[in-house]
Amino acid sequence: MPKLFLHIEGTVIFIASLYFYQQNNFSWLAFIFILFVFDFSMIGYVINDRVGAIVYNIFHSYILPVTLILVSTIITSDGLLMIGLIWTAHIGMDRMIGYGLKYRSGFKDTHFQKV
């Protein structure tokens, strides 16, 4: 049951991000090009599983993109808001299809397998 909730949560976050992205009339071409940029965080796995998990998790938790969205609204920056929404959509999409935060034991060992 908790796994289902994680998938639903990801779906809701993904759809909400798309909605707010559209409401701001941002470029869908930019969305497509930027959406998968955050997966470059997997490069940490070239060093080892520990570094890979840390770097991947930094870029795949909601902490940084939501902070970016909040900062963008405080300083009124459309560019930062656009990136924050795309980043949040990326994480939601990952959760929706079952990709989770990584453990140091290996790339395929995620918090989805623990619930």
Whether pLDDT at 115 is above 70: no
Q: Which residue has the tokens 């902490």?
A: 63
Q: What angle do CA 36, 24, 13 make, to 5 degrees?
A: 50
Q: Taking all residues of the chain, what is their mean pLDDT, rounded to a whole number? A: 93
Gap between the Cα atoms of 30 and 26, Å rounded: 8
49-99 pLDDT, tens digit per residue, is 999 999 999 999 999 999 999 999 999 999 999 999 999 999 999 999 989
The DSSP H or E segment spanning 109 is strand 106-110
pLDDT given for residue 114 in this prediction: 67
State the average pLDDT over residues 28-44: 96
Global confidence as pTM = 0.92
